[in-house]
Amino acid sequence: MRQRILRPVKKLAVMLGVMPKTTAWKKWLKRVVFGGLVEMPAEIGPQITPVPSIIMSPWIESLL
């Protein structure tokens, strides 16, 4: 959902020439728009809950 909103905004910013030229300013802008980085664990252990698998329709399963 957020990508559907931000993609046209970014395209408009590029067309208007207001996108930052340097990597440092691009990083700053991303931090403002998307927020800070999410801390990830160094290793995946048993405390991490597995993501449930995607339920596929029968016609997709037949293709596999």
What is the 3-state composition of the chain as percent helix, strand, coil, each rounded to the nearest 5?
50, 0, 50
Whether the model pTM is above 0.75: no
Q: What is the pLDDT of residue 22?
A: 92
Compute the distance between CA of residue 26 and CA of residue 23 in angstroms, rounded to an integer: 5
Q: What is the pLDDT of residue 6?
A: 82
pLDDT tens column, 2-56: 778 888 888 888 899 888 889 999 888 888 887 887 787 777 777 666 666 666 6
What does the domain layout of the chain look like in residue ranges? 1-34
Q: What is the pLDDT of residue 52?
A: 66
Q: What is the pLDDT of residue 55?
A: 66
